[in-house]
Structure 1
Amino acid sequence: MASVLDAGPFFHGTVAALQAGDLLTAGYRSNYRPDIVMNHIYFTALVDGAGLAAELAAELVKGVAEPHVYEVEPTGPFENDPNVTDKKFPGNPTRSYRSVAPLRVVREIADWTRLTPEALQMWRERLSALSANPDARIIN
């Protein structure tokens, strides 16, 4: 029997307007490196971590869509997100995961912390530096 990585609940941030029961799947552009189409669907057990992803997704389509955070449930096995686990942080303090199986939307979460304009600018600068660094790759 496989061990459970995290009992959740789990969250996903996006600009997609979804309903309970909808499925989120892999195959979309990264919020962090939009030139990369992701082979996995990413999620976290931290609601504000999903909020960050939603804000960054909204930055990619500025003025076109609003950020949303959803409670989700994995429909298949999942693993620690190798882009942060033991790479940028020891262990998995961000409680970030990924799966090739879809995530089912449980409900939309309204109570999550929005980024300040200053924090959003800081993330823009970080992502710009990341995009310019050929050694900073996403494990896809």
Structure 2
Amino acid sequence: MQPESIVYGCIRDWPGDSMECRMRRAVNRKVLDSLPQGEAWPFIGREMFSRCEQAGAGLYQSQVIHFGASYQAIEYEWSLWVEQFENLLRRLYWASAVVHLETELNGCHTFRWDSERGYHAPHEGDLRVRCAWEREGGLRN
């Protein structure tokens, strides 16, 4: 049996006036709903994402888009996964994102994207981010 990798995390929006927030959430929903589903997605797919839509029901000021999936040894293709994730980030409104990668052989890693200005909008083109990664642990029993 091949080693399993678990990837999970969240993409955070930023607070603002209600009309602006609704517009950002609508754009983000459209982008996430356009992702491939079923067998069509090798790394990033619609089924792995979820978010709260209604104020008071898991949504206070900032919307959190959460995601997670299990893969067969994704660390060997991690650069491709990150490339697809960053392509998704380019199309979304967000303030920060975090991805946790748990591997059986190489321990746990945390990757963080923080926008330089505190937010990213899709029409801005290139990502302006700082990406840092942290590594925990080693061989798991």
- Please identify which structure carries the higher strand content: 2
TM value normalised by structure 2:
0.26
Greater C-alpha Rg: 2
TM value normalised by structure 1:
0.26
